[in-house]
Amino acid sequence: MRKRKLGSSNLEVSSLGLGCMGLSFGYGPAVDKQHGIAVIRAACERGVTFFDTAEVYGPFVNEELVGEALAPFRDKVVIATKFGFDIDPADGRQRGLNSKPTHIKEVAEASLKRLKTDRIDLFYQHRVDPNVPIEEVAGAVKALIQQGKVKHFGLSEAAALTIRRAHAVQKVTALQSEYSLWWREPEKEIMPTLAELGIGFVPFSPLGKGFLTGAIDASTTFDKNDFRNIVPRFSEAARKVNRALVDRLCEIARQKGATPAQIALAWLLAQKPWIVPIPGTTKLNRLEENIGAAEIVLTPDDLRQIQDAVAGVAVQGARYPEHLQALVGR
């Protein structure tokens, strides 16, 4: 697989990464541990070198899974994880945000152990904590970088001004936020800021939490523990309307001899050379499909056709329920 550098940093990764969250958390029951290891190692064997996890996924168990799966490949891969939540160690319950410098250090030490490694390649603040100045957060990660425990600093779902303030203290290597054909908000302020500062962009949910694959319609039912049950964009009424976007994507995919998921990922890769999407999956066949997107070259005419197709569809429903939407864009 081709490689890309995240912004102006020297952090080089595969052009597509693997979001590992769904193996343990968010979309129904966790997969069997051995199956999860097999998916991660299959990605590695097919050229993926960029793996994304977080302490809150599970919590904790996803980092453990990633650490065990990647142990034989550790020096050939880049592992990203995240801090920023206050998690009760007894029951795993989230108790809000916590980006106090002392807590960041504690999370780093715990993550290093779970990941079975001596360094975190990319350490993101998972969500901006309004109670801790971003300069203090950046300073805490800078200290970890100086100690060799962290290699690069990242932010997730941060506002443009916050990115600038953090970057002034410690260079931000990457921003992770949602971006796809059905969520293009970052194009307004975030992407110009990243381009100016030389920061890479790591889109999560690049397939619209599965919707852009074409496998979901108004009749789809989700597991009781699936996060999408509380997402307004995934209400039955919204899915019925939003299916029009996928239908147009499917038509373009047929013309290119590809799948809608592959076109959605190839479109992201075509936007900027410093964009590295991290689609997640629990299925080996979907992994193969996603990786195939890296070989698809979209011409200017293809990109115009995609733009024209999606411009005619007004996507219905918020991407987060209200209590989670309040945590983004700070």
Q: Give dist(CA 51, CA 23) in Å, integer.
A: 12
Q: Scanning the structure block, which residue is given the tokens 């303030």? A: 165
What residues are paired with 175 via a beta bridge?
155, 201
What is the sign of the dihedral through the CA atoms of 17, 279, 193 and 311?
positive
The answer to whether residues 193 and 164 touch, using CB atoms and an 8 Å cutoff, is yes
Question: 80 CB contacts (<8 Å, ≥6 apart)?
Answer: 17, 50, 51, 52, 53, 120, 121, 122, 123, 124, 154, 174, 176, 202
Q: Locate all alpha helices (DSSP H) within the chain, ordered by sequence.
A: 33-45, 61-70, 101-114, 134-146, 160-169, 190-197, 236-256, 260-271, 284-292, 300-311, 322-325
Q: Scanning the structure block, which residue is given the tokens 């998916």? A: 39
Per annotation, catalytic residue among 57, 124, 179, 320? 57
Q: What's 275's DSSP letter?
A: B
Q: Scanning the structure block, which residue is given the tokens 């009749």? A: 219
Angle made by CA atoms 209, 283, 77, in degrees to the nearest 5:
85
Q: Write out the DSSP string of 279-318.
A: ---S-HHHHHHHHHGGG----HHHHHHHHHHHHT----S-
The answer to whether residues 17 and 277 touch, using CB atoms and an 8 Å cutoff, is yes
Q: Give dist(CA 258, CA 189) in Å, integer.
A: 32
What residues are paired with 152 via a beta bridge?
122
Please name which of 24, 2, 22 lies closest in space to residue 14, comparing C-alpha atoms: 2
Active site residue 57: yes
Which residues are catalytically annotated? 57
